[in-house]
Amino acid sequence: MQGINRVVIPVDRSEEAKLAVDQGSTLAKLLGIDVAIISIDDSNQFIASAALEKKLRSEHEVVLDHYRKVVELKNVKVITEIIVGDAPAREIIKYVNDNDLVVMVTHARKGMDRFILGSVSEEVLHCVNCPIMIIKPQIKKVEALL
């Protein structure tokens, strides 16, 4: 992993994002590099209410503050940033540099959910020139009912 200067961890408000923060900050610690945790605020394309937009922005700030503290506990230098845009994958692609390592989680959606919602991690994977680590959350085994 020579030539990597920073770990970029795009997060959302999902539980799975914690995995990316944990793994990405551990890698950064091992490599002796900084972390950038980013959250994409795409609410402006859906919301006409300034009060609701302010509430959502506050939620982004709370999530990023929590993750910043988690990374700092590992003695890793971290910055956090909220990026306003209308397409999360596109904003992530614009943010990263060729010498970054992107660590992100996939939600592993299938079928119609993937068709409608798209796949941010897949689009980022195909469009960035830097290394990328995509973490797939463990699938909980469901026992068949007899």
Domain boundaries, the chain: 6-135
Residue 6, φ and ψ in degrees, nearest 5: -160, 150
The percentage of the chain sitting over the pLDDT mark of 90, rounded to a whole number, equals 58
- The pLDDT of residue 142: 46
Structure confidence at residue 24 (pLDDT): 97
Query: How far is Cα 125 from Cα 128, in angstroms, rounded to an integer?
Result: 6
CATH of domain 6-135: 3.40.50.620
pLDDT of residue 52: 77
At 139 the pLDDT is 59
Question: What stretches in the chain show pLDDT beneath 50?
Answer: 114-117, 141-146
**In terms of DSSP bridges, do strands 78-84 and 34-41 run parallel, antiparallel, or are they unpaired?**
parallel
Residue 46 has a pLDDT of 60
